[in-house]
Structure 1
Amino acid sequence: MPRRETVRTKFEHANPILSVADMNRSLRYYVGVLGFSNAEWGGDEFTCVTRDGANIYLSEGDQGHPGTWVWLGVDDVEALYEEYKESGARILHPPENFPWACEMKVADPDGHVLRFGSDPEDVT
């Protein structure tokens, strides 16, 4: 019997959904401090914030648990670090070089941790 080729569905995106206690507070932080834009269709209980193609859904009081960690790839984590120091972001850890990326950690008002990373720095 001939072997059947398996057709795999192509994945398009992975977008986290974060539970937030107060949508207005979270939007002030994600838009005003972290530089995301709020979706035009967003409401009081569910929305999506976007920055350069990175999407994070926010759900008030539902869908998830406080303290979720999310990794976001960026082109220059050092420049983002400087931007976030100026904007007042709650930086948990400044950029640090690892074999997989140069990363920093930022907290949001609900205790979620956003790990921003860019290509690792050459340490030769």
Structure 2
Amino acid sequence: MPTVQPIITTPNLDRQRAFYERLLGAVQTSRFPADGPIFFVGLRLGDSELGLVNETEVDLSAPPRILLSVEVDDVNALLEQVEAAGGRVLGPPAHMPWGQRVAHIHDPDGNMVNLTQALPQ
């Protein structure tokens, strides 16, 4: 059975890792290489995995083509923490017709992240 693992390239791996750890409780599960400058870090977020690759030449001015959607318990509570964690809130959350409350944010590199919360039925 296929598994998908999103991997973000970043010129500042430590900043990105700190953002996902602080805001979403990500836990580092792997690192390569084990010693010396880090190239790759694997993070666990709930039952999902996210990879970060240290790529100093990545062009952050290019528009991102991937959107991470992260289901959380309380969108409003997390929005209050986004800027302190190094991200940016793009606007207030909204109720979507498919039964979610959604807020759009940027991580420290400007990647789009949707924080989603299931609405009571």
Q: Same fold (TM over 0.5)?
A: yes
Distance 2:24 2:42 in 1: 14
Structure 2 residue identity aligned to 1:29: F
Q: Which runs of 5+ in 2 are unaligned?
A: 33-37
**Which has the greater radius of gyration?**
1
Q: Which runs of 5+ in 1 are unaligned?
A: 1-9
Identity of aligned residues (%): 24
Q: How many residues align?
A: 110
After the TM superposition, which parts of structure 1 deviate over 3 Å for at least 4 consecutive aligned residues? Answer: 82-89
Distance 1:27 1:51, change over 3 A: same
Distance 1:89 1:104 in 2: 13
Distance 1:73 1:38 in 2: 19
**Is residue 18–residue 85 contact of structure 2 (8 Å, CA) maintained in 1?**
no
TM-score normalised to the size of structure 1? 0.68
What pairs with 1:1-124 in structure 2 (closer than 5 Å)?
Answer: 10-11=1-2, 13-39=3-29, 41-43=30-32, 44-61=38-55, 66=60, 67=64, 68-84=66-82, 89-100=87-98, 101-120=100-119
Distance 1:46 1:87 in 2: 21
